[in-house]
A = this chain, B = another copy of it.
């Protein structure tokens, strides 16, 4: 950490801060500049000490040098993590494709979707049984009944099942049916939930919150990893910005940035990331080109009749065309897709 003193800081204040740095178990190096003094605090203490130093007398700001996350860091584990679930491989050169409807609506709907997305090349089936909805008046999901339908679809197709869990008390139930537990963007910092899924043996798909920084995303992953579950996939699904023509802004640069910082695989969600079905095929292809380890795409037998997210869902035909486009890019860049 670098403690930057104000220009007018007194030598007493500087001495005080040196003492504080040492009390915190760090070594202090004082550097006297032409206008300001800075104190370099050396040692492996992070967030917890930073906050404390910031409120010291005469301190202008404290600049962290080390990343706040540890076990998620590529510095700690240089080789890329690959998450494997049934037939799906995500990471380390393999690109997994999770596709299916936003919500499970009926056995017929989910089984038909599973067959269609499998045929087009998907390696997992997504579908929501517990739905976090902005409005209390919107469809909230079929709950356990929906989970059973997902299990049926898995039996029929062999596809791994990806579904969201919203509350710590639902974790055992959802984990009974699902192969991958999804943490939605709204729950990225629901720490009790992160701990609960961290204690299961299911793979986790952790979605980035709409205003979360990358450091916050990696610290959320760290909550899960620290409970002993190493199978975490990160998912970029778009951030909230002033752009109004897309529902969120999907920053694909997160992929190469994350891959430099962490060993965990990175999945892109072009459906939520754009919010419009007609933008999904091009953004899916771009996600493959940028080096994503996975895609998660909303597909519905009849988007116009969907109980949720119809406007951003592809039809079976559109999904098939999207997969063909992604396959062309993946082949060109020597990426194993599907």
Name A's B-contacting residues (CB within 8 A). 2, 4, 7, 20, 29, 31-36, 38, 40, 42-44, 46-48, 51-52, 54-57, 63, 65-66, 68-70, 75, 132-139, 166-169, 186-187, 189-193, 209-211, 213-214, 216, 219, 222-223, 226, 239-246, 249-253, 255-257, 260, 273-274, 277-279, 282-283, 285-291, 303-306, 308-311, 313, 325, 328-329, 331-333
A56 pairs with B304, CB closer than 8 A: yes
Of all chain B residues, the one with the shortest Cβ separation from A326 is B289
A-B contacts, 27 listed (Cβ < 8 Å): A2-B2, A2-B65, A33-B40, A33-B42, A33-B65, A35-B75, A40-B40, A51-B308, A51-B309, A68-B134, A70-B137, A132-B191, A186-B190, A190-B190, A213-B243, A213-B245, A214-B245, A239-B241, A253-B282, A282-B289, A282-B291, A283-B290, A285-B290, A288-B289, A289-B329, A329-B332, A332-B332
B134 pairs with A55, CB closer than 8 A: no
A257 contacts across to B, CB distance below 8 A = 245-246, 279
Of all chain B residues, the one with the shortest Cβ separation from A331 is B332
A291 contacts across to B, CB distance below 8 A = 282
B51 pairs with A42, CB closer than 8 A: no
Q: How far is the CA of A304 from the CA of B56 in the complex (A)?
A: 6
A135-B68, A213-B244 given; A51·B311 CB < 8 A: yes
A256 pairs with B239, CB closer than 8 A: no
B35 pairs with A138, CB closer than 8 A: no
Of all chain B residues, the one with the shortest Cβ separation from A304 is B55
A20 contacts across to B, CB distance below 8 A = 304
Of all chain B residues, the one with the shortest Cβ separation from A258 is B245
A51-B308, A250-B253, A253-B283 given; A169·B168 CB < 8 A: yes
A325 contacts across to B, CB distance below 8 A = 333
The 3 closest A-B pairs by CB, nearest first: A211-B211, A289-B289, A332-B332
A288 contacts across to B, CB distance below 8 A = 289
A219 pairs with B134, CB closer than 8 A: yes
A253 contacts across to B, CB distance below 8 A = 246, 249-250, 273-274, 279, 282-283
Instruction: Tell me, rounded to whole Å, the shortest Cβ–Cβ distance linking A308 to chain B.
Output: 7
Of all chain B residues, the one with the shortest Cβ separation from A310 is B55
Q: How far is the CA of A126 from the CA of B107 in the complex (A)?
A: 49
Q: How far is the CA of A55 from the CA of B249 in the complex (A)?
A: 20
Instruction: Tell me, rounded to whole Å, the shortest Cβ–Cβ distance linking A313 to chain B.
Output: 7
Q: How far is the CA of A288 from the CA of B226 in the complex (A)?
A: 39
A75 contacts across to B, CB distance below 8 A = 7, 35
